[in-house]
Structure 1
Amino acid sequence: MAIFQQKRSVRRSLKKLALGGLVGGSVGIVGSIFAVSMYIVDTLIRPKRLTSFYELYTFTPFELDLPAEEITFPPVEGDHQVTGWYIPYPGATTTIIVCPGYRGRRADVLGTSAHLWKAGHNVLAFEYYGHGSVVGSPVTLGYRELNDFLGAIEYAKQRAPQTRLGAIGYSMGAAIALMAAARRPEVEAVIADSPFATHKSAVEYAVRRTLHIPFVVFDRITDTLLWWRAGYHFNQVEPIREIGKIAPRPVLLIHGLKDSIVDPEDAPKLYEAAGDPKELWLVPDAEHCGVYFVDREAYVEKMLNFFDLHLRKSRPPIQLQGRKEASSAEQGGTRPFGVGQEV
């Protein structure tokens, strides 16, 4: 999933950030703080062009013999097109939306997508605009990318309106999946692998691990520069404020306790903020988005069982039932089932 490459890239960027701070110190403390804060923001939103062999040439559905369609769809806001693969499964009753994280490509989630398709789900795998194969456009850490995920929901509904929707996301993609599900009840089950609790916590953790300086020193100036350069503030991307709205739809949170990109402490915070039903899976020896690599079989089994239980064996939550069912209940029909009840 290009996670470890992402890790090395972040560390290189933060080393440059530290050097920038030292240079800035020659013109005073304020200048140093401003220089470091500016570097944080520029590193975050700056486009990154694909240059290496690994980045330019990756596996595709062809190598896995998947009947994938090359697709594009619009975000709910914006004039660009999001790229992805749609992998239909004959007679599927479910569609799973799969997305990578910051600077991630759809190829990074191809393994997960293949397992989901083989289990009988339609799969919509996409990459956030500017983060993957399409480069040259400034990016954010979930603020504008949320529109891409909401666009994926619309596309999935159009392609297979009769199916129930689930989602699995990684890192930034996991944080976005939580925020999108909080806004859109059509997403009935969410797996979030290594999400951050807040935009600020993700930046703070990176700075703290690299510079060994409290982020409070840079907090206010960085937030102001983020608004000036990218048009949003830290507090506009906070999954922890929204995850509680997903209930009574289920959430599975996954996190490695050796994560060097997103603070592992964010996982229990998100779990505490979530409503039932919820599950937290912490793995001691896993890096960022690395639980799959620690035990592939266990990961795939848990993922498939989660969607099987909550999308195939249960009825939709009451508030998700259509007007037809509600009308039937009012006329003496059966009452809708709640989350977790067996058909």
Structure 2
Amino acid sequence: MKKVENLRLSRSSLKRILLGGLGGGFSILGIILGIGLYIVETIIHPKRLATFALYTFSPFELGLPAEEVTFTPLQGDHEVNGWYVPYPEATTTIILSPGYRGSRSDVLGLCALLWKEGHNILVFEYFGHGTVVGKPLTLGYREINDFLGAVAYAKQRAPHARLGAVGYSMGAAVSIMGSARTAEIEALVADSAFATHKSAIEYAVHRTLHLPFYIFDWITDILLWLRAGYHFRQVEPLRDIGRIAPRPILIIHGMKDSVVDPRDSDLLYRAAGEPKELWQLPGVEHCGAYFADRAVYMQRVIHFFDEYLRKLPPLQEQRPVSYVERESEQQHLSEAG
């Protein structure tokens, strides 16, 4: 009799353990799902900028003869906002873009200094990130179209001018991917770029939650596809940067960056072809190289464009893979895998 009671007790205990474990499993899964959803929603639906954040400097304060311009992206039915600053008889145009939620006014100081060096300037902000706020965003996937639209507009305004580009953070990552898709950009400065979409999110999760990202990796990628229409693997400057060569690239990164892992700059540098330069600054935060020493920063950037954009003849290179070809290639690779 005792054996039967013990057996029933054991079965009852086992049932409670199993149900408790099942409930705990669902709780853990719910937490993972919730955090994954939070990550995705933070990317694509960030908080609206406060009104005062839009009241900032413009070309007027710097005395720049800038024109308020809009242009169309390579794909999409929106318009991209920018300033175009022509320089008399310039033979070069520099395209500048800020990062995630960045405004064109964020890089206005650099625009003014490069313009004084004799370059035409086109500075723009990615749609939904700056003065146009509250729109669904991606972390570089659709923003490539804005960058390529800027390239087309710059060539339209000054057809014979050679093009260079400067990008910051997400803008640097997009500039890398965009330059790999067009032969028009002949020299690129990438400041604080992430190596991959996934590495940027992984670094943020590790620093804020102090947890390994692999716990949330798969669910975040699925939710990103469901909510925004793309996967992590579709935004990878690390994969694209090798296609820029033999055009030169200058990679800049602060080694105290709390937004993008400084190790990403090493990965990008190793993957890039020649000619390439890597400038890492100890003790400098995200996109802080300019502010650490403005004179040295400008000297380096100006010299880079003088050396590779003004002095050297245009490069005769193979036609880069187009955006459509790249997406087709990735689809083929994913199907093959």
Category of TM-score, reference length = shorter chain: 0.7 to 0.9
Matches within 5 A, 1:270-309: 270-309=268-307
Taking only aligned residues, the RMSD between alpha carbons, in angstroms, comes to: 1.5
Cα distance between partner residues in 2 of 1:26 and 1:237: 32
Matches within 5 A, 1:134-283: 134-283=132-281
Counterpart among 294, 310, 324 of residue 308 in structure 2: 310
Secondary structure of the 1:147 match is helix
- Describe the superposition over 1:249-292 as per-residue Cα deviations: whole angstroms up to 9, x where unpaired: 00000000000000000001000000000000000011000011
On the 8 A contact 1:186/1:320 being kept in 2, the answer is no
Cα distance between partner residues in 1 of 2:117 and 2:62: 14
Counterpart among 60, 70, 73 of residue 72 in structure 1: 70
Cα distance between partner residues in 1 of 2:301 and 2:33: 44
Cα distance between partner residues in 2 of 1:34 and 1:136: 24
Cα distance between partner residues in 2 of 1:267 and 1:312: 26
Deviation of 1:26 after TM superposition, in Å, equals: 10
Cα distance between partner residues in 2 of 1:297 and 1:52: 32
- Paired residues in the alignment total 297
On the 8 A contact 2:187/2:248 being kept in 1, the answer is yes
Cα distance between partner residues in 1 of 2:183 and 2:169: 22
Cα distance between partner residues in 1 of 2:29 and 2:49: 35
Which residue is 2:333 aligned to?
none
Task: Identify unmatched segments of 5+ residues in structure 1.
Answer: 1-24, 322-343
Cα distance between partner residues in 1 of 2:132 and 2:47: 10
Which residue is 1:6 aligned to?
none
Secondary structure of the 2:195 match is coil
On the 8 A contact 1:285/1:294 being kept in 2, the answer is no
On the 8 A contact 1:171/1:196 being kept in 2, the answer is yes
Deviation of 1:172 after TM superposition, in Å, equals: 0.2
Secondary structure of the 2:313 match is coil
- Describe the superposition over 1:36-90 as per-residue Cα deviations: whole angstroms up to 9, x where unpaired: 000000001004322152x121000000000000000000100000000000000
On the 8 A contact 2:191/2:252 being kept in 1, the answer is yes
TM-score of the aligned structures, taking structure 1 as reference length: 0.85
Cα distance between partner residues in 2 of 1:287 and 1:134: 27
On the 8 A contact 2:246/2:317 being kept in 1, the answer is no
Which residue is 1:94 aligned to?
92
Which residue is 2:31 aligned to?
32
Secondary structure of the 2:34 match is helix
On the 8 A contact 2:97/2:104 being kept in 1, the answer is yes
Aligned-partner residue type, residue 100 of structure 2 = Y
Cα distance between partner residues in 1 of 2:181 and 2:78: 22
Deviation of 1:320 after TM superposition, in Å, equals: 7.7
Which residue is 1:48 aligned to?
47
Cα distance between partner residues in 1 of 2:85 and 2:256: 33
Aligned-partner residue type, residue 301 of structure 2 = M
Q: Rg larger in 1 or in 2?
A: 2
- Describe the superposition over 1:183-235 as per-residue Cα deviations: whole angstroms up to 9, x where unpaired: 10110000000000000000000000111110000000000000000000000
Cα distance between partner residues in 1 of 2:104 and 2:229: 26
Task: Identify unmatched segments of 5+ residues in structure 2.
Answer: 1-23, 320-337
Aligned-partner residue type, residue 134 of structure 2 = G
On the 8 A contact 2:82/2:124 being kept in 1, the answer is yes
Cα distance between partner residues in 2 of 1:205 and 1:160: 40
Secondary structure of the 2:200 match is helix
Deviation of 1:27 after TM superposition, in Å, equals: 5.5
Cα distance between partner residues in 1 of 2:134 and 2:248: 37
Secondary structure of the 2:317 match is helix
Cα distance between partner residues in 1 of 2:50 and 2:238: 35
On the 8 A contact 2:97/2:107 being kept in 1, the answer is yes
- Describe the superposition over 1:168-195 as per-residue Cα deviations: whole angstroms up to 9, x where unpaired: 0000000000011111011000000000
Aligned-partner residue type, residue 309 of structure 1 = E
Q: Give me the identity figure in percent.
A: 66
Which residue is 1:11 aligned to?
none
Secondary structure of the 1:189 match is strand
Secondary structure of the 2:180 match is helix
Residues 1:245 and 1:320: Cα distance change in structure 2 (over 3 Å): closer
Cα distance between partner residues in 2 of 1:50 and 1:101: 15
On the 8 A contact 1:47/1:130 being kept in 2, the answer is no
On the 8 A contact 1:113/1:123 being kept in 2, the answer is yes
Secondary structure of the 2:109 match is helix
Cα distance between partner residues in 2 of 1:250 and 1:115: 21
Aligned-partner residue type, residue 192 of structure 1 = A
